[in-house]
Structure 1
Amino acid sequence: MNVLLIDDQPNILSSLMAGIPWLEMGFSSIFTAQSANAAREILSDNKVDIVVSDIEMPGEDGISLLQWAREQGYDYECILLTAHADFTFAQKAISLGVLEYVIQPAKQEDIIHAIEHAIQKIKANGETSPVPLAADQFNYAAQNIVIKTLFEEWPVIEASIINPAKLEKRITQLKQFGINVEAENPCIVTLINIRKWKKLPLTAADFLKHYNHLLHELFPTDTTTISYYLDDKYFITVFFTEGTDEIIRGIEALHKRIPSDIGAATRLFFAKTEVRFIKNTMEGIIGIEKKDALTHKDDCRMIEVNNDDLYSEALGSDNYQHYNKLIHEYIENHISDAITRTDLADYLMIPPDHVSYIIKRTECCSVKELVTKIKMEHAKGLLQNTKYQISEIAFKCGYDSFAYFSKVYRETYGITPSQERS
C-alpha cells in the first residue's frame, strides 16, 4: 500500500514520517506534499491508498483538494488533521467520505489508530482502493465531530433571548441531519456515564455504534434521535419526542441492556425539556451527575427540569423591563389593530405564555387588560386634544363598534366618551 502525507509545515511532515511505523504497517511507498498542487501531481502519477492531510493550508485547503480528488475518481481512504472542530468543515468532510477526522494536537497513537482503521477498511473491501462509503456507513468518529460541535455551539436560553438568530442557526444545522424541529418542540436529553467495563473496553466510536443499534431495537421506528460522545466516558442522546410512558420505558430498558449487550456498567440521567433549552438541560444534567459521582451507583434517574424557571431566570428583572417597553411600543404603534398575545409573541420572538408572564410581572394584569388600558389612554388623549368625531376615535383605537367602545371607555374611566369631551 501507498500513503500520501500532506501538510504545509515541514516539521509536521517530518514528525509523521518518523513517528509512524510505516514499513511495519505494510506501506511500500510514502509520498509527501506541502501544498494541494503538489498533492494533485502525486495523485495523478501514482497509486495512493491512504491520504493523511491537513485541512488548513495556504491557497487551496484540504477539503477542496479532497473534493477535486473525488470528482477525478480517486477513492483513497482519507484522514483529515485539523486544529479546529469546525461544523462546516466537518460536515463537508463527511459528505466526501472522510474516514477519520483527527483534532490537532493529536497523540501519536490517535493517528496510528486512524491509519489502522483505514487499513482495516481497505482490507474489508478486498481491494487496495475501496469505493466511497455509503451515507449510512460514515465513520462514527468523524461524524461525532460534527454533532459534538453543533451542540457545543448550541446557545443557552439567555443567549437565545438576546440574539434569537443564534438558536435559529443551530436548528437549521440540525435540519441538515433530517431532524425537522422548532424551538418549542419537546425533547428528552439523556446522559450516559460509563462507570466500568465488564470486558475489554471499546473505543468511544465503537461504543456509539453498538449503542445506536440498541436505540433502533428498543424504540419505535418513528423515534428521532441524535447521539454523540464527549469523551470515552460520557455519551449524550437527544430524543426529539414527547416524554411518553413508552419512551421512558425504552430509556429504562436501554440502561438495563447496555451492561449485557455492550458490557459496560453505566449511570443514566435524563430530563424532559424543549429544543430551545437543550444546552441548559445538558449542563444541568452533567453538573448533577458529576456532583453525585461519588455514590458509585449504577442507576437510571429522571431529572426534573422546570423550563419556566429557566426562562424566567434567563429573562431577569432587567429583561422584564426591556420586554415591557417593547410591548408598550408595539401596542402604541399598532393602536388601530386588534392586538393579540400571539402578535406580541411573534414580534418579541418568545413563546405566548412568556408574554403573559412578563406582563403579569411588570403590569399586574393580563395581556388583554394591558392592550385595553393603552388603547383607552390613547382614546382619552384624542378626545381631549382633537376634534375628531367620537366614532372616528373609536375606529382609530381599533373598535369597529361605537357602542362597544363607549362601554369599554366607561368601564375604564367611569364616564362616557361624550362626557369626557364635554
Structure 2
Amino acid sequence: MFNLLVVDDEKIAVKGITVGIDWETFPIGQIFEALDVNEAKQVLSQNRIDIMISDIEMPGSNGLQLQEWVRTHSPQTETIFLTGHANFEYAQQAVRLGSFDYVLKPVDHDRLQDIVKLAIEKIKEDQEQTDFHETYKMYYSHWVSELPTLVEKFWQELLSGKIPANEERLTRNFQMYEIPLDMTSRILPILISVEHWKEELNARDEEIMEYAIRKAAAEIIVVEQAGCVIQENGSSLVLLYVEEGSELSLTDIKAKCEAYISACHRYFQCSLSCYVGEETPLLKLTAKVADLFQNERNNVTKSNCVLLDNETDQPLMNKPQAPTFSDWIVLLESGKKAELVARIQENIDRLQKTDDVGSETVEAFYYGMLHVVYHVLHKKGLAVHDMLPHQELQDYTSATRSLNQLRNWAVRTATVSCDYMNSHLKGVSAVTAKVCQYIDDHMEEELSREELAASVFLNPAYLSRLFKKETGLSISEYSLKVRMEKAMKLLAETNDKISYVAEQTGYSHFSFFAKMFKKYSGLSPQEYRKNFQG
C-alpha cells in the first residue's frame, strides 16, 4: 500500500482531493493533509510518503521550495504539482526539480486520478528495480567473497582434466574469475609439501593448520605477484602468474620460499619443503605439476628446504638392499622388542648415510615391515586391526614421505606389535599355541573339535576347557575371529570376488558367509569393502 500527502493553503481545495475523490479503488494506505510547507515537512519527516500532490503558489515558502527539500529528505516521493496559472516557467522549474507531473486548477479529478495511477506504476517499477539491484548487490558481494574458492576449484578441475583445455572455455573462465591470463600466458608452480608436524594433530586440527600455511604462502610467497594458492592432491600448490614480457627471478622466489619455511617452522611448528618448478606454458601446466609431485615422491633424504627442478633426487638404477625381514620375523615372534627396534634404527641410519636412496627403497622397507607384522600376528592367531586401526597401520603417504617419518612409523609399529602380542599371548601354553597355528594353517577347511584335539593328542572336551581358559574364547569363537579377520583383510586390500573371499576363509556357501560376516562386523561384505576402498 502507498501513502498520499495533499498540500494546499486552501483547506477546501485539500478536502476536495482527499474526500472528493474515491481513493478506495487505489492501493492507498493512508492519506495525509498539510496546509503549508512547514506542516508538509513535518508529515514527510514522520511518515513514508510515496505520492505528494502539492499546490505551487502558497504564502511563505511555495511548492517548488518544498520540492527542493523533498529531493534531499524524501527522494522516493513522487510529486504532482497543482497551480492556477499556466506558467511555462513554473513547468520548467517543476521538471528541473524532478516532479512527476503538472496539473492546472481547477483540478479535473479524472485527470488527477490518471496521473496518480501512472505515479503508482512508476513507484512499483522503481521499487522492482531497487529490489533487483539490492538482490544483485547482495549476491555479487557473496560471489566476490567466494571468488578465491571459485578460483581454486577452477584450477583443481583444470589440473585434473575435468575442464577441457580449449581456448574459448579457458578465456571465458579467466574473464569470469578475474584471472589475468590468456592462452599464451606462463605460470610458475611451487609445490608445498608438509613433512612433519611437531605436535600430533587430529584430522580437524591438521585441516585448519593446512589452511593456515596456505594463507601464509599467499602472504609471503605470492605477496604482490599475481597468483593464487590452492589445495591439490592433499598438498598446497602456489601458482605464480607470469606477466607477458617479464620473467620471474628464481633467486627472489627461492628467498621468499626460505622465509616462508622459516615462518611456518616458527609459527606453525611444522617442517616443510618447497618444490619450485619453472615458468610453464598454460597448456603444459598439468604435466609440470605432475613432475613436482614426482619430485616430492623421489625425495626421501632432503627436508625443510627449497628444491628447484634440477635439485631433486632422481629414480635410481642401483638401489640399496632392503633389510633381511626374515630376521625381523623371528625377533617379533619372540617378542624381543628392544632388539627389533634397534635393528630398525640401524637400518634407517644406514640408509641416511647412503647418497643413492630413492623412493622405491623406502617403499620396499615400508611393505616389508607390514609383511612382518601381518605374518607374525596371523601366525599367532591375533587380529592386526584390533592392535591398530587400518588407517594408522597402513599410513603409506605419511610413512614413506621421508626416512625420518619412515623411522617413526616403523618404530611405533614394532613397539605396538610387540606389546600387543605379549599382552594377548601371556600365559598361553604350547598346546593352545599349536591349536591356534593349526586353525590358521587350515582356515580354508571346515575343522571339527575332534580334528583339532587329535592334532595335539588330547581329549576334545579337555582341549575345549583348556583353550577357553587360556584365550578367553571358545574354539569356535576363535576360529570365527581368525576367519573374519582374514576376510576383512582380503576385502580391504584386494579386489577379489567376495565369493572367492568366502572360499579362502572356509565358507562354501556365500549366503552363510555374508550372514556370519555381518553378524561379526556389523556390515555386509560389500559395505565393508566400500568403506575401505571407496
Q: State TM-score, norm by structure 1.
A: 0.30
Greater RCO, 1 or 2 (C-alpha within 8 Å, sep 6+):
1
Please identify which structure carries the higher helix content. Answer: 2
